[in-house]
Amino acid sequence: MALMLEARSGEYMTGRGVKRLFDELCDGIFRELRRLPAVEGQELLAELRGTLDGEIATEQQFQEEFSRLQAETLRTATPEELARICREIVSLVAGSFLRHESVPALFALCGEALESMLEQALRLTEEELTREGLGPPPCYAWLLLGPGGRREATLSTELEGVLVHGPGETATRYCAELAGRTTVILERCGFKKSRRGIIPDNPLWRASTEGWLERIEELCCRDSRARSGSSPHRMARLGSPLFELADLRFAAGDSLLGEELIIMVRNAAERHPACIMAAARTVAALPTPFTFLGNYRVERKGNHRGMVDLDRWACHPLVAMVRLQAVTGGIAETSTLERLQALLRRGSLDVELGKRLLKAGLRLFRLKALLEIQGATAEGDGTYLLPSTLSSGEEFELREALEAVTTLRKVIHSSLAEKG
């Protein structure tokens, strides 16, 4: 599996970017060699070769083990076997991430594992339903939402998604069983069920194509109306149901049916710009992660007193604001980092701010993943960080990332003010 590399500048790189990095590294090495005596130069090259050989061997071993587990995933005969393999994959990927702390690699590995687990869970459920005499499965598609839809799944990602199926009562009953039993299998594998209930075992997130047409229109009408009593944080997390459906990505089943639902959502967003404006106003109204004196906003009571909620003040606002820019700019990508790159390519985002946001995204997602591995994700909602545990360099990077997110909020607020 080809993994994207993470540059010091905070951008992902593939193709020409990797070649450029390679050339820069070689130039640096050769500059040093020209300053060294021949013997010391040879020793440097030998040491470098040994280091590279070791890294290559470690990566090859990792890839072989990951590929083996992925192949075993698709051969499992029971939910128990699938859960065992999932635990092995989680342990393997966690170890790899702690070695390199590469966010793009983590997202790619976790995304691939999630899709394999979902595919096999569905297959096991279909086989069980066939044994019970419920017949062959109808046409359906399972689409991922949330971190899975944005290709930002990590080792403890909550499972969010929707299901669309063909017409008829038979298909409706079958898919109700399919969604419920598949969700149970995935929970056994360690995937936490969405606390917001956005999962196909909930009938609100499962329907035929015609049913989804009606529901999307309902969401448009509801989102166009101002809703009082909703906290800014929760609205920023959800944006709005229609707004958040922009993160939908096909995962399993019939790809044409899945793509049809994605197109329906995009068309609805174009027909109902008031929904997007409502989400934009909510995003623009978010408070900053800093107090008036420039300190971090921290929890004032409870088990996390004195800690920064990284999700509330950084990750969720960044995701929501970049989604807003992507939706209004007609960007098809669902990943936050890929959306930023697409906005930069189109000239829809200031270059300097775009680079700051890419760097901020990589830093924040890296820190969030490390905290998740350390068990800092709360049972409720949030990933908590104690600022005093950071080194001066880490604290500087966190503050710089939060300032970039704050700048984007100001840009969105100014744009809304200009539009009146």
- pLDDT tens digit sequence for 114-126: 999 999 999 999 9
Closest CA to 124 of 30, 189, 69, 33: 189
- Other C-beta atoms closer than 10 Å to the C-beta of 410 total 11
pLDDT at residue 84 in the model: 96
Structural domain range at position 407: 301-420
Residue 80 domain flag: no
Rounded to a whole number of angstroms, the distance between the first and last alpha carbons of the chain is: 48
CATH, residue 358:
1.20.120
> Is 38 within a domain?
no
Task: Please check whether residue 349 lies inside any domain of the structure.
Answer: yes
What is the reported pLDDT for 2?
A: 36
Q: Hey, how many other C-beta atoms are within 10 angstroms of the C-beta on 67?
A: 11
Residues 226 and 129 in one domain: yes
Same domain, 133 and 242: yes
Residue 167 sits in the same domain as residue 277: yes
For residue 183, tell me if it sits in a domain: yes
Within this chain, do residues 123 and 266 fall inside the same structural domain, yes or no? yes
Out of 233, 260, 285, a domain closes at 285
Q: Is 408 part of any domain?
A: yes
Q: Which residues of the chain have pLDDT under 50?
A: 1-11, 13, 226-239, 378-379
Q: Does residue 264 share a domain with residue 318?
A: no
- Polymer length of the chain: 420
- 263 and 168 share a domain? yes
Q: How many domains does the chain have?
A: 2
Q: Which residue has the tokens 């604290």?
A: 395
- Residues 230 and 376 both lie in one domain: no
The answer to the question of residue 16 being in a domain is no
Q: What is the CATH number of the domain that holds 153?
A: 3.30.460.10
Tell me what pLDDT residue 376 has: 55
User: What tokens were used for 325?
Assistant: 């820019």
Same domain, yes or no: 111 and 258: yes
Residue 113 lies in a domain: yes
| Contact (CB, 8 A) for 316 and 158 | no
Instruction: Identify whether the C-beta of residue 286 lies closer than 8 Å to the C-beta of residue 413.
Output: no
Q: Would you say residue 64 lies in a domain?
A: no
Do 213 and 323 fall into the same domain?
no
Which of these three, 253, 285, 317, is where a domain ends?
285
Same domain, 169 and 214: yes
pLDDT of 236 reads 32
pLDDT reported for residue 183: 96
